[in-house]
Amino acid sequence: MDATTRTLPVRLRFDNTEGLLKPNMFGTVALSPRQTRSAVTVPNEAIIRTGHSERVILKTAKGTFKPRLITTGLRGTFGDGNRTEVIQGLAPGEVVVASAQFLIDSESALSAGFIRMAPTDVEPARGEGVLVALDLVARLATVQHDELDSLGWPAMVSQFPVRADLEIGHLTAGQEVAFRAARGADGRLSLIDLGSNDGVVATAIGVIDAVTNDGKLALRHDPIPELGWSAMEMEMSVSGVDQDAIPLGEAVAFDLAKGEDGLYIVVAVRSPDEAKPESNQPAAAAEPPMETAEEGAAPIVAAGQIKQIVTAQRKATISHGPIPEFGMPAMTMDFTLAETLDAATLATNKDMMLTFLREDGMTLVLSSAEPANSPIRVLGAINKIDLEASTANITHGPIAEIGMPGMTMNFAISPEMAVEDLKLG
């Protein structure tokens, strides 16, 4: 692909027995597909492109208008000519405004709709529905979903690409699912999370060794492909489980769900033989073949400290904080060092920002360790606290570390801070 002209060279073969075609001639070529498919299309002029998103103005049953975030596909002369395919965001039969949008774009409802940003990994669109079809090769999921309020989408059937590092082999058509969607680099809304809608994200096989004094389960588990977790030892929070009835030192199956903080918790413990056939976890407890793991998963960054380094084994004992992207709670465990990482350069017992790679899609390997930024301390006074926005208005003195003069401004309040402990003035 030529980044400047956005063109690709194509080689075509023609019957030129009459010698009509000469080298370096220009011509117009029409390509006729061998296969056709049904698609939702709208007039080209109905598409409104705003920055990095595309929208149409939809006419509602009440005669009002509202914008709708969409994803477009092919553009061409198909249908009645000069139409654009809409691959996400519109259902057949919905009515869009094809011209003179500028005459109605001052309505408050429209303004609010245009301000609405496309969903991101940080603020994804969340939905529930029924999995209609799943193409494991193309990694496409067709979902008959309920209304997606964050997108302004009605209940309809939509097709989504599925992110490469999600394990989806255990899902089947007809299953009720919950999902999170975000706009990818290709402009399409892709699923960054897809699983059963029973609240259970995965079921794992392992051994619970003890119940800690603070009520957590100290356990050892086999690999959990749905979460991208390799076999490891850890302490996990638990909810809704009678801890006195937990068999210690025996193989068990335990269900995992996401807690309010985004980290996984144990919500059920039972004998491995009692594992539900429809569970969101394959029955086999053995480590899956390496080729089933998704390679090239995104790096994971977490704050932590390196406690010990065993150079001969290229291992490091690390205490790290929670990893929300991974749903992993804070813990201390051993990690392998990446081949490119010089063990001699690693410092122990210092606050660091640690980067982990998942070259096989699951096993975390330490690839770098950089000193964590120290907190900045400055004198000032809290003028006002906005509980809804979780911000504090502060008048502070000069901050020499970042070259900031004294001023009054709003600061976000960390979720870890107890707001009731903050004192005005």
Q: The pTM is what? A: 0.48
What are the start and end residues of each CATH 2.40.50.320 domain in the chain? 125-196, 202-288, 292-371, 380-421
pLDDT of residue 324: 76
For the structural domain made of 292-371, what CATH number should be given?
Answer: 2.40.50.320
CA distance linking residue 425 with residue 422, whole number of Å: 10
Q: If we measure between CA atoms, which residue out of 155, 164, 171, 67 comes closest to residue 109?
A: 67
Tell me the fold of 380-421. OB fold (Dihydrolipoamide Acetyltransferase, E2P) (2.40.50)
The answer to whether the CB of 191 falls within 8 A of the CB of 163 is yes
pLDDT of residue 134: 94
For the structural domain made of 41-115, what CATH number should be given?
Answer: 2.40.420.20
What are the start and end residues of each CATH 2.40.420.20 domain in the chain? 41-115
Element of type H or E holding 115: helix 108-115
Decide which of 186 and 28 is more confident. Answer: 28
The arithmetic mean of pLDDT across residues 313-340, rounded, is: 86
Question: Strands, DSSP E only, in 222-344?
Answer: 232-236, 251-258, 264-270, 297-310, 315-320, 331-337
Residue 366 has pLDDT above 90, yes or no: yes
Which position has the token pair 């809608």?
Answer: 197
Q: pLDDT per residue over 188-211, tens digit each?
A: 899 988 887 777 878 889 999 999
DSSP state of 289: P
For the structural domain made of 125-196, what CATH number should be given?
Answer: 2.40.50.320
Residue 109: phi and psi, rounded to 5, are -65, -40
For the structural domain made of 202-288, what CATH number should be given?
Answer: 2.40.50.320
pLDDT of residue 68: 87
